A and B are shown apart, each in its own frame.
Chain A
Amino acid sequence: MKKNFWVIITGIVIGIAALVLVAFGNPGNMGFCIACFLRDIAGASKLHSAGVVQYLRPEIIGLVLGAFIVAIAKKEFKPRGGSSPTIRFILGMVVMVGSLMFLGCPLRMLIRIGGGDLNAVIGLVGFIVGIGVGIFALKKGFSLKRTYAQSKLEGAALPIALLVMFILVLIVPSLFAFSTEGPGAKHAPMIISIIAGLVVGGFAQRSRFCTVGGLRDVIMFRDMHLLWGAIAIVVTVLVGNAILGNLHFSFAGQPVAHTDGLWNFLGMALVGWGSVLLGGCPLRQLILAGEGNSDSVIIVFGLITGAAFCHNFSLASSAAGPTLNGQIAVICGFVIVAIVSLFNLAKEGN
C-alpha cells in the first residue's frame, strides 16, 4: 500500500477539490472537467460563440502551472516533443468530440459517478471497451514514435502563455467573453479555482495520476497502482456528496448530463480508445504539458480546437441529448482512430 500512497492521496485531494469547487459555484458534478473547462476557455477566447459555455476556467491554468512549478522543484522539467504532432492534434480533437458527446472527460465521469449519475456508469463501460481496443493496438506494436529533447523555452511556452492569460483576465476581463447563463455562468471564485488547480496539478505531477492509465495498466500489466487514484476519487466524492446531501442515484435529472445510453457509451468508448493512443487522459496531458512535454501541448491545442468545432458545428450534446451532427462526428472519430491505429502499428520484426 505504501507505493500507492501518493496516488491515493491525489485521488482524495481531487475529490475534495471537486466537492469544494461545486460548493463554491461550479456546475453540479463538475468540480473538475478538463473537456468542459477547455471548451469554456475556447468560448471565453471567442473561438466559438456558444453563449452558455464561455468562461476562462482558472482550474486549467492552475493545473498546468502547479505541475510546472513542482516539476521544476523536483528537477523533472524536461522539455521534449516531436512525436507525431499532427496525429496528436487530430486525436486531441477526436477525444474532445467523444467527451462532449458524453458531456465530460474521464475525470468528470468519475465525479459524475460519485454524484450518483448512472449515465456515467454506462459511460464507464464504454470507456473500458475503448481502452480495450486501444490496448489491442498497443499490443500489436502501436507507437506514435519517439520524442526528442527540446529547448527550455519550448517546454515553458504553454505555462507562460497561460500565466499571461490569467493576468490578462484579472486586469482586463473585458477582453474575454463570459457566460451570463448556463454552465459557463456557474463557477467558483477565481481565487478558489486557481488554488484548487495549482494544488491538484502539483499532486497529479508527483503521483503520475491518469484515469486512462489506471484501467490500461490493470488490463495490460495486472498493475492496480494508478487505478487506486481513480477509486479514491469516486469514494471521496460519493462520501462527500452523501454528507452534503447531493447524492442522488438516477439516470434522469442529473446536472449537465443526458440519458441517451448508446451515445454516452460510444462517446466514452471513443475517448478511451483515443486516449490510450495518446498515452494518457486529458488531465494527464495538462500535467505533462506543465512538465515541458510539447507533444502534450499539441494535444491540449487539439482538445481546445475540437471544442470550438463542437460548438461551431453543433456536435456537442446538451441536457436534451446528442445532436445528429454530434453522432456523425463520433462515427467519423471512430474511423479516424481506427486509421491512426492501423497506420502506426509496428512493422514485422520491430
Chain B
Amino acid sequence: MNTIDARGKACPEPVLLTMKAIKAEPAGIAVLVDNPCAVENISRFAENHGYGIIIEQDGEQTKLTLNKK
C-alpha cells in the first residue's frame, strides 16, 4: 500500500494529496499527517467517497489508512 507523507502540510494540501493518490491507487492508501485538522478533513473525504478509515496515533503523527468499502 502506498503511503503519502502529508506531515507539515496545511489545509487543504493533505486532502488534495490523498485525492490524487486515491485516483492512482483506488483500492486504498495510507497517509501520514501531524495536525488534527488534517485528520478530520481526510476522514470526511474518506467517508464522502466510500472509503473506510483506520486512524493510528503515533506520538506527534497520525497514520490514516483508507480502504475501499
| Chain A residues with a Cβ closer than 8 Å to the other chain, count | 25
- Interface flag for B51 (CB, 8 Å): no
Q: How many A-B residue pairs have CB under 8 A?
A: 47
At the interface, is chain B mostly helix, strand, loop or mixed? helix
Contact of A138 among B16, B35, B44, B60 (CB under 8 A): B16
Q: Mark B3-24, 1 if CB is under 8 A from A, else 0.
A: 0000111111101100100000
Instruction: Choose among A146, A221, A295 the residue that contacts B48 (Cβ–Cβ < 8 A).
Output: A221
List residues of chain A with CB within 8 A of the CB of B15. Answer: 220-221
Chain A positions 114-152 with a Cβ under 8 Å from a chain B Cβ: 138-139, 143-144, 146-149
Question: Is the pair B11, A213 in contact by a Cβ cutoff of 8 Å?
Answer: yes
The answer for the CA separation of A147 and B6 in the assembled complex, in Å, is 11
Given contacts A78-B35, A220-B16, A221-B15, contact A3 B10 (CB under 8 A): no
Partner of A216, one of B8, B12, B19: B12
Q: Which residues of A have CB within 8 Å of B36?
A: 76
Identify which of B8, B10, B13, B44 contacts A148 (C-beta below 8 A): B8
B40: Cβ under 8 A from any A Cβ: yes
A169 to B41, CA, bound (A): 39
Cβ contacts under 8 Å, A149 to chain B: 60
Check B27 for interface membership: any CB of A closer than 8 A: no
Task: Indicate if the CB atoms of B12 and A279 lie closer than 8 Å.
Answer: yes
Residue in A80, A143, A146, A280 whose Cβ sees the most chain B Cβ within 10 Å: A146
Contact yes or no, A3 B44, CB < 8 A: yes
Query: What are the residues of chain B within 8 A of A144 when measuring CB–CB?
Result: 10
Q: Which residues of A contact B40 (CB under 8 A)?
A: 208
**B7:A146 contact, CB within 8 angstroms:** yes
Query: Which residue in A3, A80, A143 is a CB contact (below 8 Å) of B13?
Result: A143
B16 touches A147 (CB 8 A): no
Within 8 Å CB of B55, what residues of A? none
Question: Which B residues are in CB contact (< 8 Å) with A295?
Answer: 10
**Contact status of A221 and B37, CB under 8 A, knowing A3-B44, A143-B9, A216-B12:** no
B37 — which chain A residues lie within 8 A by C-beta?
Answer: 208
Q: Quick check: is A181 within 8 A (CB to CB) of the other chain?
A: no
- Given A78-B35, A208-B40, A221-B48: A146 touches B8 (CB 8 Å cut-off): yes
In the complex, whether A311 has a CB less than 8 A from a CB of chain B is no
Q: What residues on B are CB-neighbors of A147 within 8 Å?
A: 8-10
CA distance A296 to B22 in the complex (A): 30
Cβ contacts under 8 Å, A186 to chain B: none
Given contacts A146-B7, A223-B48, 12 further A-B contacts (CB under 8 A): A78-B35, A80-B8, A80-B35, A83-B8, A83-B10, A138-B16, A147-B8, A147-B9, A149-B60, A220-B15, A222-B48, A279-B10
- Using a CB–CB cutoff of 8 Å, the interface residues on chain B facing chain A are 7-13, 15-16, 19, 35-37, 40, 44-45, 48, 60
Chain A to chain B contacts (Cβ below 8 Å), 21 pairs = A3-B44, A80-B35, A83-B8, A138-B13, A146-B7, A146-B8, A148-B8, A208-B40, A213-B12, A216-B12, A217-B12, A220-B15, A220-B16, A221-B15, A221-B45, A223-B44, A223-B48, A225-B44, A279-B11, A279-B13, A280-B11
Query: Which residue numbers of A lie inside 8 Å of B, CB to CB?
Result: 3, 76, 78, 80, 83, 138-139, 143-144, 146-149, 208, 213, 216-217, 220-223, 225, 279-280, 295
